[in-house]
Structure 1
Amino acid sequence: MTPRLPMSQHRNGPALVRGLVDRDGEVALLLDVIQLTASGPEVEPLAAEVARLITDATATDVCFVHVLDDTEGSLTLAGATPPFDQQVGRVRLPLGVGVSGWVAKHRTPVVLPEGKGSDPRYVPIAELRGADFVSMASIPMEVDPGGLVGVLNVHTVERREFLQRDVELLRVIGRLVAGALNQARLHRRLAARERMHERFVEQVIATQEAEHRRMAGDIHDGISQRLISLSYHLDAASHAAGGGDPTEVTAQLTQARELLGLALDEARSAIGGLRPPVLDDLGLAGGLASLARSTPQIETEVELADHRLPEHVEIALYRIAQECLQNVVKHSRASSATLRFDVVDGSARLEVADDGTGFDTAATGGPGRDDVRGYGLQSMVERAELVGGHLDVRSQPGAGTTVTVTVPYR
């Protein structure tokens, strides 16, 4: 599709030094933007409407609104002039990469009247057809006090000298839009957190019911049956004693003792499924060390500080470490792992690292996805957040995986 004729031709004439819009147009545009930001739409509709307003009111041909994503490590295209609106959500730029990434990292506008292909900061994006446009201006969108929300880009088909007045106009629009976009992002995060919490509550209830059924089955099929057999052997021993047969008494009591030992083992196993008894006996550091020793399939180095935490936090960290080590054994093909725990600067920090095959976290959508190379991170993320913590996953193909849990601690 051929880009539209430049606004400088069909609206303001061919002069290249004229501003993007006259004074009256500036006021009208800013009023439109203010009215738009007060309407409180979601991120993508707001970004799309801003792009439309700018291109309709100024001598520009396309506008792109890139918004800082939740990881705060890259920009995502959130709004664009048609036909590029089809690329919304698909185009991503790490901070520092490309002109937009450079602007986001340095919080400084960039104006390129021509020759952008020779600018070392420029990275062509095939989906946005940069070669079709000669001039561009890239402006950071910030909220006070200096928080970056995204980057606003405008492009023209024909060469244009963007005046300082043009840059200031775009910066004002960027600031107005940034506040609304930031509120929309926070609202979306809150809604996502609420949905995650609802799912977690559902999972907890379902898990509890499944655990209750499992324990009832274990007690019925295991402990109860062994106790019934134990009662039988004790009765047999009693009859043998009444008949004066000491050999039979000894045999029955021996079998009864074996059954009692098995019943006790199964009872301990059932209790351990509810709360790891090792935490009561050894504390979190000792429990983690015991956990590492009980995973003989992989050599695990431990660096554990002896700090006690609230009971629910210790259980959460122990279970996360337990699942991490199971994942290392099942999926990572690692030869060794490291388990670290400490309390530093008011935060409890648990880290499990391996030297395995690793995976591409960006390609899988981050730790919120339950299908990340079989790691099943969703339950660990939710378990960490339930105790007020945060789980972070760092991994690259061939470079191993590190899972870090940080929980504020007072």
Structure 2
Amino acid sequence: MTAAELGRENALLLAIIQATSEGPGVEPLAAAVAKLIVDATATDVCFVHVLDDEGRSLTLAGATPPFDVAGQVRLPLGTGVTGWVASHRRPAVIVQDKESDPRYQPIPALRGSEFTSMASVPMASDLAGLVGVLNVHTRLRREFTDRDVRLLTMIGRLVAGAVHQARLHRQLAGRERSHELFVAQVIAAQEAERRRLAGDIHDGISQRLVSLGYHLDAADRTVADDPAYAAAQIVRARELTDLTLDEARAAIGGLRPPVLDDLGLAGGLASLARSVPELAVDLELSDERLPEHVEVALYRIAQEALQNVQKHAGASTAELCFEVDRDRVRLEVRDNGVGFNPETSTGGYGLNGITERAELIGGTVTIRSHPGSGTSVLVVVPPPAQSR
């Protein structure tokens, strides 16, 4: 290698290092590196394919003009020359007649028929492992030398570390966004519970205490002159005391249903079904215990769903199913009521609250209903790491 060639190679590597330190984005990094490689290796186009987080497929993350298809080309591992290089972690060179190579698979978006020769190398390092594949193509026939392949492999190692760091940064940012969303949902749910409890206390307990004070004052003023009237006021005050106590217990139960502590989720759901006497509810309940916050959320979801059936469905029967297996936790409430169109629903029927509760425990909600054919509310939650 001449001094001039060595100088150009060192300059390229320095430029690659500079490009990899510009920022954490995978796509801008891939585009910048692709341009540097084309300029330095006298090739016509460069494609940078990055391995996905699951290690199952490669996505085109960056390319040189005229290609503007970043993110639009995906190759399963092992597919095409690129997939072969990723699977075997070995370079591949095709000088001509690509179509005759059994590894080659044409990709219309990349216009492979316009290019004669190609070199493909893995982007890998000891620290990062395999992170992708680097391809260069030429329109004219070119014999890629061992030195060309070594240079591209060296670039691949440099880029691998930067792509690995960019992916870690992206994953961390994603986790932070998910955490922020989760915290916001928790706070919103807590505020909704506080508003509900405040409404229950204001509309029920507070009003009854005011009435209780009125009756006690009336008894106090008339006890000497009209003992019978005073006694009637005291009787009424006792009744209000009992009602207020019942409402206070209900409000406390709204925060943490005591039935879950006494009977577990299966028993709590059975008790919930019995609290709707006008509805015949068939039960299919697992005795499996779950973490406390999951049990509370599922109990509230079932409670909301049964209330919806009671208020809106016009149903005579319902089914309540709770099952736990290795892959999922499943809660479903079905009814034979009038049904509705979920696509035109504005989120009434308590469905927004059900969805929010399910999302807080990592679950999903599926609503199936048609006018005249009943409704099914299905909640699926990932299995807990450890049931209690």
TM, length-normalised to structure 1: 0.61
Q: 1:150 aligns with which of 122, 125, 132?
A: 132
Judge which range, 28-37 or 57-66, deviates more.
28-37
- Residue 277 of structure 1 corresponds to 258
- The structure whose Rg is larger is 2
CA distance in 2, matches of 1:324, 1:168: 61
Residues 170-214 of structure 1 show CA distances to partners (whole Å, capped at 9, x for unaligned) of: 222111111111112222322333344344444444443343233
CA distance in 1, matches of 2:328, 2:178: 22
SS at match of 1:87: coil
- Residue 37 of structure 2 corresponds to 54
Pair 1:139-2:121 in alignment:
yes
CA distance in 1, matches of 2:254, 2:9: 67
Residue 28 of structure 1 aligns with an amino acid whose one-letter code is: A
Is the Cα–Cα contact under 8 Å of residues 301 and 357 in structure 2 kept in the other structure?
no
CA distance in 1, matches of 2:358, 2:206: 34
Residues 309-355 of structure 1 show CA distances to partners (whole Å, capped at 9, x for unaligned) of: xxxx631x33565688799999xxxx99763267xxxxxx864488x
CA distance in 2, matches of 1:137, 1:145: 24
The Cα of 1:56 is off from its aligned counterpart by 0.6
- Residue 4 of structure 1 corresponds to none
Residue 314 of structure 1 aligns with an amino acid whose one-letter code is: E
**Residues 237 and 301 from structure 1, CA distance in 2 versus in 1: closer, same or farther, beyond 3 angstroms?**
same
SS at match of 1:65: strand
- Residue 128 of structure 1 corresponds to 110
**Residues 91 and 273 from structure 1, CA distance in 2 versus in 1: closer, same or farther, beyond 3 angstroms?**
farther
Residue 318 of structure 1 aligns with an amino acid whose one-letter code is: E
Pair 1:77-2:60 in alignment:
yes
The Cα of 1:101 is off from its aligned counterpart by 3.9
CA distance in 1, matches of 2:206, 2:196: 14
Residue 190 of structure 1 aligns with an amino acid whose one-letter code is: L
CA distance in 2, matches of 1:265, 1:160: 88
Q: 2:206 aligns with which of 197, 203, 224?
A: 224
Pair 1:287-2:265 in alignment:
yes
Is the Cα–Cα contact under 8 Å of residues 321 and 352 in structure 1 kept in the other structure?
no
The Cα of 1:57 is off from its aligned counterpart by 0.8
Q: 2:51 aligns with which of 68, 78, 84?
A: 68
Q: 2:295 aligns with which of 311, 318, 328?
A: 318
Is the Cα–Cα contact under 8 Å of residues 60 and 74 in structure 2 kept in the other structure?
yes
- Cα RMSD of the aligned pairs, angstroms, is 5.0
TM, length-normalised to structure 2: 0.64
Is the Cα–Cα contact under 8 Å of residues 215 and 237 in structure 2 kept in the other structure?
yes
Residue 37 of structure 2 aligns with an amino acid whose one-letter code is: I
Is the Cα–Cα contact under 8 Å of residues 234 and 253 in structure 1 kept in the other structure?
no
SS at match of 1:158: coil
SS at match of 1:32: helix
Pair 1:31-2:10 in alignment:
no
SS at match of 2:198: helix
CA distance in 1, matches of 2:150, 2:107: 26
Where in structure 1 are there 5+ consecutive unaligned residues? 1-20, 308-312, 343-348, 357-373, 385-390
Where in structure 2 are there 5+ consecutive unaligned residues? 274-278, 309-318, 335-351, 367-377
CA distance in 2, matches of 1:298, 1:159: 76
CA distance in 2, matches of 1:256, 1:175: 82
CA distance in 2, matches of 1:148, 1:76: 14
Is the Cα–Cα contact under 8 Å of residues 141 and 150 in structure 1 kept in the other structure?
yes
Residue 252 of structure 2 aligns with an amino acid whose one-letter code is: I
**Residues 81 and 280 from structure 1, CA distance in 2 versus in 1: closer, same or farther, beyond 3 angstroms?**
same
**Residues 81 and 322 from structure 1, CA distance in 2 versus in 1: closer, same or farther, beyond 3 angstroms?**
farther
The Cα of 1:106 is off from its aligned counterpart by 4.5
- Residue 361 of structure 1 corresponds to none
Residue 120 of structure 2 aligns with an amino acid whose one-letter code is: S
Residue 34 of structure 1 aligns with an amino acid whose one-letter code is: I
Is the Cα–Cα contact under 8 Å of residues 133 and 158 in structure 1 kept in the other structure?
yes
CA distance in 1, matches of 2:270, 2:117: 59
**Residues 404 and 203 from structure 1, CA distance in 2 versus in 1: closer, same or farther, beyond 3 angstroms?**
closer
Is the Cα–Cα contact under 8 Å of residues 143 and 179 in structure 1 kept in the other structure?
yes
- Residue 172 of structure 2 corresponds to 190
Q: 2:151 aligns with which of 169, 192, 196?
A: 169
